[in-house]
Amino acid sequence: MYVKFFKQIFDFLFALLLLIMLTPVFIIVSILIKIDSSGPVFFKQERMGYEKRNFFVFKFRSMTNKVRNNPTQTYLGDAEITRIGNYLRRYKIDELPQIINVLVGDMSIVGPRPCLLSTYNKYKNEDTDFRFNVKPGITSNAGVSGSIFLTWPEKWKMDRDYYEHQSLHFDFKIIVKSFLVVIFGEEKFLKK
């Protein structure tokens, strides 16, 4: 079994290294977001995390600053996504502020993606609670296996696979695959 203490140390050190290395990227992206559209640089949203505790996940804002009455899944090319937002989403740059979530202990580098309470309530009868026995991740097994092209039950099947086979090797495999997804796009890794 992957030692929890070791994973926490790895997460903290890796996130700290990433934050130091990516500080120039954070500055450039922040400027581009402000030039492209009005509104804040960061977007925060309440999600469910470890042991079903709620926390705010941080992202670079990739959509217009309008209030959404009926939040739904958004995809590249949707009208609400800003010009720079399309690039931020395509290359997963919008997810980078979650490094801060890792540093404060709400998230891990690798783990099931944190879900909205509304998503959990919709599917909670489908044996999803195992996901809350580990910290949610910036990247995930589902995230490197087709992500937005998968249904929630398909994503959670992959989350279970991760949960049941956690290891340092599995984490490294997902991290490496995450970089490949950024380069080649999610559709290239959709598991048939």
Average pLDDT value for residue range 109-138 = 90
pLDDT in tens, 32-81: 999 999 999 999 999 999 999 999 999 999 998 765 555 555 555 566 89
Consecutive H or E run containing 26: helix 4-36
For 145, phi then psi, to 5°, come to -130, 25
Residue 114 is predicted with a pLDDT of 95
What separation in angstroms does the CA of 191 have from each of 15, 42, 187? 28, 32, 9
Consecutive H or E run containing 164: helix 152-164
Q: Answer yes or no: is pLDDT of 126 > 80.
A: no
Asked if 178 and 145 touch (Cβ cutoff 8 Å), the reply is no
Q: Answer yes or no: is pLDDT of 160 > 90.
A: yes
- Confidence class of residue 139 from pLDDT cuts 50, 70 and 90? very high
The CB-based long-range contact list for 45-49 (8 Å cut-off, 24+ gap) reads: 45/116, 46/116, 46/117, 47/114, 47/115, 47/116, 47/117, 47/136, 48/114, 48/115, 48/116, 48/117, 48/120, 48/132, 48/136, 49/106, 49/107, 49/114, 49/132, 49/135, 49/136
Average pLDDT value for residue range 127-138 = 92
Mean of all residue pLDDT scores within the chain: 89
Q: Answer yes or no: is pLDDT of 192 > 60.
A: no
Residue 123 is predicted with a pLDDT of 82
Residue 151 is predicted with a pLDDT of 87
Residue 176 is predicted with a pLDDT of 95
For 31, phi then psi, to 5°, come to -65, -45
Total number of domains constituting the chain: 1
Q: Answer yes or no: is pLDDT of 144 > 80.
A: yes
List the domain range (segments joined by +) for residue 64. Answer: 4-189
Return the percentage of the chain with pLDDT > 70, whole number: 90
| Across 55-59, 126-130, 134-138, least confident range | 126-130
Residue 124 is predicted with a pLDDT of 80
pLDDT in tens, 72-113: 555 555 668 999 999 999 999 999 999 999 999 999 999 999
